[in-house]
Amino acid sequence: MNHGQHEAAPQSVQKRHELELAGPFIAVLTVLAVISFILPLRPETSVREKRRLREFPTFTVGSLLSGEYFDSIGMWFSDTFPGREGMLEVSDRMNAMHGLNRNEVVLSQTGSAQDDNANLDALLEQAEKEASEREAAVTPTPKPVQEPEPSATPVVDQNTVVEAWEGMNGEEEAAIYGDMVVIDGTVLSRLGFDQSTSDQHVALMNRAGDALAAQGRRFFNLPVPTSISILLSSDMLAELGAADQGKTLRYMFAQENENVGKVNAFNNLLAHNSEYLYFNTDHHWTALGAYYAYQSFCETAGFEAVPLSDFTEWNMGTFTGSWYYSVNSRSLKTDEVIALVPPGNDHIHMEILGYPDYTSVIVDETEADSNMKYNCFIAGDNPLTVITNDALPDAPDCLVIKDSFGNPFTVYLTQHYHKVYVLDYRKNFTPVSTLAEQYGAEDVILVQSIGVSQTRQALPLLENLMK
């Protein structure tokens, strides 16, 4: 045996030993690589993130040369990786190990309404001073409602085509609330005050109020406070840099004219803030929160609110809100959606453009995915919904313009109106005055989160609507 053979033997042994040790890793890498190329295993939607996952990009020469095509393939590959939901769960658990997680902060680049908190007090003082100087600064006494003609049941024309803006859907709406904190197991959005958007919103409200008053209709503006301002103390709000939404409301109402019915639900919600008014894992309010706003609406509109005890609770089960996955906090309290079925529900039926199968204002979502439970209220966000209460043939009709906060609120209106036309302004671009005239609605009610009203994205939508 020569010298070369002496060296070769240990070398080959070491090579074999190395290959044996590397074998498991190579096997795992190979298996995952093969799995990643089995296209049917790639998910198309994410339940956790409530979104459609990326699609394989379309080839263009331009995108190829710019590098965008290959980048998009890379993102598609990662976004739709087989088993992603389970992997995200593991990732969440790893993230939870980063710290103590007693409370949470999720800072976002999307929040836009953080500009003018420091000026809010001064602006409010000035606005209220000017309002008091105007003779008609108080909310007018509601005008007597005209006796309506009992109308033949209008059926939603399922062939109607509405122009919808695709820029912000229900899922994306959650993203506009910006920074989030988790306090005592509840996610709260750190919403601020934006003078510019507030002023633009006021101008739109005044314009809508004037236009509808000219048609002999009443217009009500119900800005929905978000949870942070109802659940936290003023000191805590200041420390978090969040606006006092009670002041935001007063600032806006002080500038709105007499043709706008100002529904201030803030104080009533605040008075009940120890109750389950807002979800812990979602930006929405509960049916109970919406009920207290309904009481405030009745006070402004001259109706007598139906007592809470007249409604029947229907528990849809555990709810996982849109913020649950945004904060990935193990400390979050659980939620459940409890709908309040209105008295006389048998006489109330609902028609939805595009979805003729839904018939009841409270939809059975007990078997739905936990993140879909909020859809139990008027079947979620739709371009146009018509609710008829056959038990009130002589009652007036109303048109509700709403974002998703309006869904549970709308249910209560069935107790005072014969027909409730519901328009989601993110999905239907038909101007309000046109619709109100077309349907003969005596009252027009805007139900919109203060968070959305402070957001620049929503203004063009409202502007279009108020034409």
The residues of the shown chain that bind other proteins, judged by CB under 8 A, are 11, 14-15, 18-19, 21-25, 28-30, 32-33, 36-37, 46, 49, 54, 64-67, 70-71, 73-75, 77-79, 81, 84, 87-88, 90-91, 94-95, 97-105, 107, 109, 179, 181, 236, 239-241
The answer to whether 369 and 47 have CB atoms below 8 angstroms apart is: yes
Q: Find the shortest distance in angstroms from Cβ 79 to other proteins.
A: 5
Phi, psi torsion values for 398, nearest 5 degrees: -140, 160
Nearer to other proteins, 26 or 122 (CB): 26
Nearer to other proteins, 11 or 434 (CB): 11
Nearer to other proteins, 96 or 214 (CB): 96
Q: Find the shortest distance in angstroms from Cβ 67 to other proteins.
A: 6
Nearer to other proteins, 54 or 272 (CB): 54
Q: Find the shortest distance in angstroms from Cβ 320 to other proteins.
A: 17
**Burial bucket for residue 233 (CB in 10 Å: 0-12, 13-18, 19+):** exposed
Q: Find the shortest distance in angstroms from Cβ 1 to other proteins.
A: 22
Pairing of strands 419-424, 397-402: parallel
Structure tokens at 136: 């008609």
Query: How many whole angstroms separate alpha carbon 209 and alpha carbon 357?
Result: 35
- Give 41's contacts (C-beta < 8 A, 6+ positions apart): 35, 82, 83
Q: Find the shortest distance in angstroms from Cβ 28 to other proteins.
A: 5
Q: Find the shortest distance in angstroms from Cβ 3 to other proteins.
A: 18
- Written as one string, the DSSP assignment of 49-88 is TTEEPPPPPPP-HHHHHHTHHHHHHHHHHHHT-TTHHHHH
Query: How many whole angstroms separate alpha carbon 428 and alpha carbon 401?
Result: 10
Nearer to other proteins, 55 or 163 (CB): 55
Nearer to other proteins, 15 or 456 (CB): 15
Q: Find the shortest distance in angstroms from Cβ 272 to other proteins.
A: 25
- The CA–CA distances, whole Å, from 200 to 210, 258, 456 equal 15, 17, 9
Nearer to other proteins, 58 or 109 (CB): 109
Query: How many whole angstroms separate alpha carbon 323 and alpha carbon 272?
Result: 23
The answer to whether 260 and 206 have CB atoms below 8 angstroms apart is: yes
